[in-house]
Structure formats: structure tokens, C-alpha cells
Amino acid sequence: MTLNKFIASQSGWATPFALYFTLFLLVLGGLAVDTSRAYHQRTILMAAADSAVLAAAQELPDAAAARAVGLQYIETFFPPGRYGTVATADDFVFGRWDPETGILDTEAEMPDAVALHARFSNADGYGSLRPHFILSMFGIADWDLSARPVALKMADPGGLCTGGEALLGRLTDYLFFIGDGRNDANWQASSPGYAGDVAVNGLLAEERSSGNFSYRGTITTNATDLGGWNRILNNNPSTADVHFGQTDTIAALQQDFDAAVATILALEVTPGFSDMDARDLDGLDVMDGEGKVYVIDISAGFSSSRPTYIYGDADDLFILRWDSDDKKPGQDGTVKLSGGGGIVPLGDLTPASFIHLAGALDSSGGGSTPAALAPYLAELPETVNGGGFFTGYWLTTGDPGKSFENGSFSRATFVGGWYTGARKFSMTSGTAGVHVVPARPPALEPCERDTTRIAGISRLLN
């Protein structure tokens, strides 16, 4: 071939084109993968920052105590040895919140709000930037990610009555709300079945399932798939449905969960019901024809293998806070029910008359099913025989002494609803659940009483 012919030849042109096109596809794919990963990381960062400011706000106006508690939460979520510095003590800022301007006055005395700047960044010595998986090969640095929530400690204009604004928001529309489950969200056979809608933060939860069990309801998620939980849909094609991409719904439920936990923590204990042993509640009878709210602090008797019978009026509301050590942040201890153990509502009470706040839950089999719960369990396709009965609406944060995780359930039956921020759980070995719709949402309402008491914590910004 002459030199002129070689220069004019166009053979082999596709090879460099294919190489450039392949490089373009790699960069485009890397951008998609790493963008999705960055969004996932920011979701986790926001959840941790929310928890930190909500916990810190409970300690106000003691800014030093609030800073210590908030920093403890951040370091629990993100151990410095693994993640670097995500937030320092100086990243917690305190002041008084002006709702009209949306500004935090850091010069004011008696702070009622806390702001936090948490970040994945290598700036200013933080060293917490999470590297790209793919784009780093092309010299593209990772993006700084940050969260800036503000939480307000609210003053209550009065006391407590029933019949006011719903305490649990939209949570009582669901059998389960899974707000985390990042380490494991295992929902599997065997089971008498489940009846009720379920909501899950699919961007965090590591959904896992196996076997076949009956499920009747709709699963709502902010993700575009259910991961391992797709098996549940496939096994129940005529009774199960799913709503994907429900970001606003999951965010709203998370806000309802955070607000409910903070409000419940801030309530004054009812006189005569502080530092209780749960076993001493058996036989409690408060029937007097008047609807009242009973805030009960339980510090002992977390394990029960027999029913706890409680009598009350239709408008009574029982709020039980389970915490084995109230001097440490978080709900310490594990509530374990077995052998037919659990609260049995009698008189004019229903499962909706009970709200629980706890760290972790556990259960095992044995015993028999309390007769008063049988009408609710009749909705399930198979008979429930004994085990532990979690009656009412249970809010759990995960035990801080166990990395905010929940253990594996065995023969647990939920009669009401379970709403959790636990990072790990396993529903197996005969676990079941049936959603109980309240006649009206459990509520608190202002009354003519003390105006200085703290009503709750509200997350304002992120």
C-alpha cells in the first residue's frame, strides 16, 4: 500500500470510536451509580442528624448537657475510627427560635432550640468524605454532603386531656412502619399471617425474606423496588399490593415518628405511676366514667410470661415508657413477652388505648392466647397459639446498648401496630400481626393547667 493510499484509507475507524464510546458509557454509568450512592449516604446522614438534635433538644436549656448528648448520638451512628469526624461539639449551636423569621437567635438566654451542621467532608480536618466507587478512577472527586436540622423544645400551653390532635399522626394507619432497618430488615416465614398496611424506608432498609406466609395489605416504600420483600408480593398476588416511590409519605411518617417519640418523652409522669414494675400493673382498674391520660414509667418487669389485665373507660389512654435506665439517653432495655404474656385490655378498653415507647422487643412461645384478643386475631388466616402479645401501638428506637438494634422475634403477635427506628430486626418463627384501627386517634389536648411544662420536640429544618 502506498503512503497516499494508507493516509486515505478509512478501514479500522470503528475501533477508536468504540473505545471512546466505551469510555463515555463508563463515565455515564459511574455518574449514575455514584449519584445514587451519594443520595443514599445523605439520607443516612440526615436521619442521624435528626436523631442527634432531637435528643439534644430534650436537655435544653442546659446547653452543655445537650451538646454532650447530641455528640454521643452522632458518634454512635458514625464511630470516628470508621467514618472520621462527621460533627464536632462546636457544630451544635443553641439559641431561641423565632418562628416568624425562621432565625435562631444564638445570643438569647435560655435556649429553646438546637441546630447542627453534620457533614461528609474532608474540609477543615473532618476527614469523613466518602470516596466514589467508579468516578474516582477518572479523577473526579466526591461531593461534600451535609445536613443542617434544627429542633425546638416546645412549651405546652396546658395540661393533658383526650380528644385533641392525634399524638401518633398517620402512624396508626399502618400495621408496621420501618424507619431504618439498615443492617437487616428480615420479614420471613413461618407465620399465622399479617393483616394491615406496611410502610418502609426502602432507601435505608435491607429487606430480606424467605419462605411463604400470608399477607393482606399494601406496602408503601420510597424506593423503586422491595428487594427481598418482593417475595412477599409474589406469594400473595391477590391480597398484597405495593406503592413505589412514595418519598413524601415516608418522610411524613418519619416526622410523625420523631415527633411522637419526643412528645412522649417530654410528658410528665402521672402521680403514682413512676418507677413502676410492669408486673404490678396486672389488675389495674381505673374505670370511673371519665376519659383520662395515664403516663406510666416502667423501669422493671420487662420480661413477662403471663397476661397483664387492665380495666378502663373507652376514652382512657395509657402511655407506657419502658426504660431500665432513665439516666442514659435512649430507651434502655428489652421488653420480652412469652407464654401468653402481654397487656390484655378489659372494660371498655381496646388495643388502641395503649401506646408504648421502648428500646427493643423480644418474644418466645408457650402459653395460650388471651380470650379478649381473639376477636382481633380472627382476621388472620391461621390460629395464633400463645407466645408474646404486643398489644397497642409500639414505638421502638432500638436499644442504644445494642447498637440500636432489635433481636429476632419468636412467636410474637402484634395487635395494633409497631413503628420502629431499629437498625436490625427479624420477624420469624411464628411471628404475626394484625392492624387495629383506633375508633379515634390517640390524642392529647390542651387543658387549664400548668403552662410551663414541656410538651415535645419538633424538627424544624433539614
pLDDT tens digits, residue range 143-159? 677 888 888 876 443 33
Which of 129, 152, 175 is a domain's end point? 152
Q: pLDDT at residue 21 above 60?
A: no
Q: Does residue 86 or residue 312 have the better pLDDT?
A: 312
Q: Is residue 462 part of a domain?
A: no
Question: What local confidence, expressed as pLDDT, does residue 327 receive?
Answer: 75
Do 173 and 34 sit in the same domain of this protein? no
Residue 383 has pLDDT above 50, yes or no: yes
Residue 53's pLDDT band (cuts 50, 70, 90): confident
Domain count, the chain: 2
Q: Which of 82-96, 152-166, 204-218, 396-410 has the least mean pLDDT? A: 152-166
Residue at 195 is within a domain: yes
Indicate whether 294 belongs to any domain: yes
Is it the case that residue 431 has pLDDT exceeding 80?
yes
Which tops the pLDDT comparison, 162 or 452? 162
Does the predicted model carry a pTM greater than 0.85?
no
- For residue 447, pLDDT beyond 50: no
My answer on whether 142 and 186 are in the same domain is: no
Q: How confident is the model at residue 130 (pLDDT cuts 50, 70, 90)?
A: low
Q: Give the residue with greater pLDDT, 447 vs 87.
A: 87
Q: Are residues 185 and 118 in the same domain?
A: no
Classify the phi-psi angles of 25: left when phi > 0, otherwise alpha if psi is within -120 to 50, otherwise beta: alpha
d(CA 19, CA 460) in angstroms, rounded, equals 50
Comparison of pLDDT for 65 and 171, the residue scoring more: 171
Q: Which of 118, 152, 186 is the last residue of a domain?
A: 152
Local confidence band at 129 (pLDDT 50, 70, 90 cut-offs): low
- Under the banding of pLDDT at 50, 70 and 90, the label for residue 437 is very high
**pLDDT attached to residue 38:** 59
CA atoms within 13 A on the CB side of 328: 15
**In this structure, is residue 160 part of a structural domain?**
no
Residue 1: is its pLDDT beyond 70? no
Q: Are residues 173 and 304 in the same domain?
A: yes
Residue 8 counted as domain residue: no
Mean pLDDT of the chain: 83
Take residue 396 and report the three cell numbers written for it. Answer: 421502638
Report yes or no on 2 lying in a domain.
no
| Chosen domain end from 99, 130, 152 | 152
Confidence of residue 460 (pLDDT cuts 50, 70, 90): very low
User: What pLDDT score was predicted for residue 164?
Assistant: 42
The pLDDT, as a whole number, for residue 172 is: 94
**Residue 159: inside a domain, yes or no?**
no
407: pLDDT strictly greater than 80: yes
User: Does 147 share its domain with 195?
Assistant: no
- Residue 448: pLDDT band (50, 70, 90) is very low
Residue 140 lies in a domain: yes
Q: How far apart are CA 415 and CA 175, in angstroms?
A: 9
| High-pLDDT (> 70) share of the chain, % | 80
| 36-50, 209-223, 292-306: the lowest-pLDDT one | 36-50
Task: Say yes or no to pLDDT of 99 above 80.
Answer: no
The pLDDT of residue 157: 36
Residues 217 and 366 in one domain: yes
Q: Is the domain of 170 the same as that of 243? A: yes
| Percent of all residues in the chain with a pLDDT value above 90, rounded to a whole number | 53
pLDDT at position 449 is 36
Residue bearing cell 400551653 = 157
pLDDT at 392 over 90: yes
Please tell me which residue, 373 or 160, carries the higher pLDDT value.
373
pLDDT at 143: 64
Confidence of residue 98 (pLDDT cuts 50, 70, 90): confident
Both 100 and 245 in one domain: the answer is: no
Do residues 282 and 363 share a domain?
yes
Least reliable range by pLDDT among 148-152, 232-236, 434-438: 148-152
Q: Which domain holds residue 267?
A: 165-445
Strand partners, 416: 392, 435
- For residues 185 and 100, which has the higher predicted lDDT (pLDDT)? 185
Averaged over 7-28, what is the pLDDT?
54
**Same domain, residue pair 336 and 294:** yes
Per-residue confidence (pLDDT) for residue 83, from 0 to 100? 81
382 in the same domain as 245: yes
Q: Which of 252-261, 271-280, 282-291, 440-449 has the lowest mean pLDDT?
A: 440-449
Give the pLDDT confidence score for residue 451 in this predicted structure: 30
Q: How confident is the model at residue 369 (pLDDT cuts 50, 70, 90)?
A: very high
